[in-house]
Amino acid sequence: MTTMHVHRPARRRSSLLPLACGCLATFGILFAVVLVAGFLFLPQLIGAVTGLTPQGDTADFFAQVTPEPTIVLQNPTPLPQISVDLGQYGQGTLNSNPALYNFTVGSTANGGQAGTAYFTEAGLMDICYQRSTICSPSSTDPRIRNARIDLRPGGAVVYMDTTLPQLGGVPLPAGVILRWDSPTRRVVVSGVDIAGQMYAVPPQSLNDLVTTVEQQMNDLIGQLAVQMGGGLYTVSDVSVTDTSLTVILR
């Protein structure tokens, strides 16, 4: 009797699994490389797309700025309320609030009348919410939404969500770097901040946005008149630290 043996061929292990694992591993490595490179070369990438020129870290810029000293008033008198006239930006009153802003009148060392208006970052944002739409998501200016103020020694960075055509209309968090120039009593735009990196004042394609911020702030300062303690005051100087802004009025 003849016995037949059936030899079944060994099932070949599929090569798809190791191939898939190899592809995933390769993809993971490539993703990590691209991610790290993106962070390392973010300034160059942004510069290539927008035409901005990197100028170093924003923090280093402000580290070189010396804030104006705050005036020390003689016989200071705290005020519960002041009346503010912002010209074309409207009029209103502000009630003193230690967490937001407070106001004081007195005299200088030479006997002249003077006053100070002290604002925290929260106080400045409170006024922005009251007086403008740029600090809200529903801004009437599509270029500027969700503006927020970050005070720095001698100036500030006004961050906002701005839509740039160069980036396909995708909202990009960016900041306008502002410095107070005491001799001219003006706010000066010193550059643009993106992810902590300072860029030079942008080319014409983005310059309109930056110019608008600078112009509106200086218009407001020029038109500001404050009624406090029975006297009418205008801006004499500004002192800014990383936590507060003090307007010196005379």
Region for residue 26 given its phi and psi (left: phi exceeds 0; alpha: psi -120 to 50; beta: otherwise): alpha
Same domain (yes/no): 104, 41:
no
Picking from 31, 48, 65, the residue at the C-terminal end of a domain is: 48
**Residue 7 located in a structural domain:** no
Q: Are residues 65 and 157 in the same domain?
A: yes
Task: Tell me whether residue 134 is in a domain.
Answer: yes
How many structural domains does the chain have? Answer: 2
Whether residue 40 sits in one domain with residue 100: no
Indicate whether 136 and 229 sit together in one domain.
yes
Q: Are residues 225 and 123 in the same domain?
A: yes
- Residue 94 is predicted with a pLDDT of 87
Regarding whether 164 and 205 lie in a shared domain, the answer is: yes
Are 23 and 105 in the same domain? no
Residue 146 maps to a domain: yes
| Low pLDDT (below 50) residues in the chain | 1-42
- For residues 41 and 116, membership in a common domain is answered with no
- What are the pLDDT digits (tens) for 140-181? 776 677 888 899 999 999 888 776 665 556 667 778 888 999
6 domain residue, yes or no: no
The DSSP annotation for 97-145 comes to BTTTEEEEEEE-TTS-EEEEEEEEHHHHHHHHHHH-STTSTT-SSTT-E
Residue 121 forms part of a structural domain: yes
Residue 60 belongs to some domain of the structure: yes
* Residue-range definition of the domain harbouring residue 36: 18-48
Same domain, 143 and 202: yes
Does 188 reside within a domain?
yes
- Examine the domain organization and report whether 79 and 43 are in the same domain: no
Same domain, 120 and 145: yes
- Residue 12 located in a structural domain: no
Same domain, 27 and 125: no
